[in-house]
Amino acid sequence: MSLYGWIAPRGPNGFGYASTAEEVSRGIDLSGKTILVTGMTSGIGWETARVLRLRGAHVLGTGRTREKAEEAARAMGALPGPFTAIPCELSDARSIREAIGRIRDLGLRLDAVVANAGIMALPRLEQAYGIELQFFTNHIGHFMLITGLLDQLTERGRVVVVSSEAHRHAPRAGIEFDNLSGERGYSPWRAYGQSKMANILFARALARRFEGTGRTANALHPGVIRTNLGRHMPKVMDWLMALATPIALKSIEEGAATQTYLAVHPEVEGRNGEYYSHCQPIRPRADALDPALAERLWEESERIVERLPK
């Protein structure tokens, strides 16, 4: 726990900045539950998958390759919850379709999906299928995976989309629909912000579709945590984060708390279309709540997916 963690206030539910994934899931028996976690080979996704298994859940964990996911699961040691590795490269349409097929073939219903995988601040413009790579990986890949699995969700299934406070750095338009390729101007942080804005808008659009059902979709900011996410940042940034971690940043255990809370805590049941930080609902940037923008993103995402190789 950082120095700030000691003094940070806790919310009405008793959880806050310094809560860990183990703390927010204490006493919750997840045996018999199946939870899909993307990007569990590293960082907070790994810790989320570990703690869900610790509580007995069967975790379907995605990695870019099966070997990577299996290796990550082995590193967790022996845990009560079973693990199934699902290869899924989120910048590759065929890999995503295969992952959807594999998950469907398991014949299991999903109690929750934690859309956690992500990349950040690529220094130069990179693309997948002509779309800027952060937008494709962080949003389109998850849009495709989750919409392809909606009928696998249980009646009370939860979709948890890992966004970031960096969504506040998204372009003024929220989403630049006329520049999804990035070719009309690219900035690493604006592009990351746009992809994280898309994460919230996607959760909101999904939440609208879930209204009147027991299913829910929420988005979250996990905190600032030193993980492999910073691999594209200058080395000096990594040193600064290493210095700042004991003072004010979250540990990986703390960083995994909010998504674990949203995926399994009973008090979240029925909460739909919200945005959380430190296990508390907060207000995102105003346009992240704009239903017209969320619908436009949904329609554009469908058009992009439609054009991808089958």
Ligand X SMILES: NC(=O)c1ccc[n+]([C@@H]2O[C@H](COP(=O)([O-])OP(=O)(O)OC[C@H]3O[C@@H](n4cnc5c(N)ncnc54)[C@H](OP(=O)(O)O)[C@@H]3O)[C@@H](O)[C@H]2O)c1
How many residues would you count in the chain? Answer: 310
Q: Which of 17, 186, 192, 276 is catalytic?
A: 186
Residue among 19, 25, 42, 272 that touches ligand X (CB under 6 A): 42
Going by C-beta distance under 8 Å and a sequence separation of 6 or more, which residues neighbour residue 44?
A: 116, 162, 222, 225, 227, 252, 255, 256, 259
The three-class DSSP label of residue 11 is: coil
277 binds ligand X (CB under 6 A): no
* Smallest separation, CB 175 to ligand X (Å): 17
State the Cα–Cα distance between residues 202 and 197, nearest whole angstrom.
9
Any idea which residue has 């199934």 for tokens?
84
Q: How many residues bind ligand X (CB under 6 A)?
A: 27
In this chain, which stretch among 49-57, 227-235, 266-274, 279-287 interacts with ligand X, using CB under 6 A?
227-235
120 binds ligand X (CB under 6 A): yes
Judged by CB under 6 A, the chain residues 162 through 201 that form the site for ligand X are 162, 164
Smaller CB distance to ligand X: residue 211 or 274?
A: 274
Instruction: Please give the DSSP secondary-structure letter assigned to residue 17.
Output: T
* Smallest separation, CB 227 to ligand X (Å): 3
* Smallest separation, CB 68 to ligand X (Å): 6
Select from 86, 62, 66 the least CA-distant residue to 137.
62
Beta bridge partners of residue 218, listed in sequence order: 160
* Smallest separation, CB 162 to ligand X (Å): 4
Residue of closest CB approach to ligand X = 43
Going by C-beta distance under 8 Å and a sequence separation of 6 or more, which residues neighbour residue 277?
A: 165, 220, 221, 223, 258
225 binds ligand X (CB under 6 A): yes
Select from 134, 153, 163 the least CA-distant residue to 259.
163
* Smallest separation, CB 220 to ligand X (Å): 9
129 is catalytic: no
Select from 11, 17, 10, 55 the least CA-distant residue to 35.
55
5 binds ligand X (CB under 6 A): no
Residues tagged active-site: 186
Provide the binding-site residues for ligand X, judged by CB under 6 A: 39, 41-45, 64, 68, 88-91, 116-120, 137, 162, 164, 221-222, 224-225, 227-229
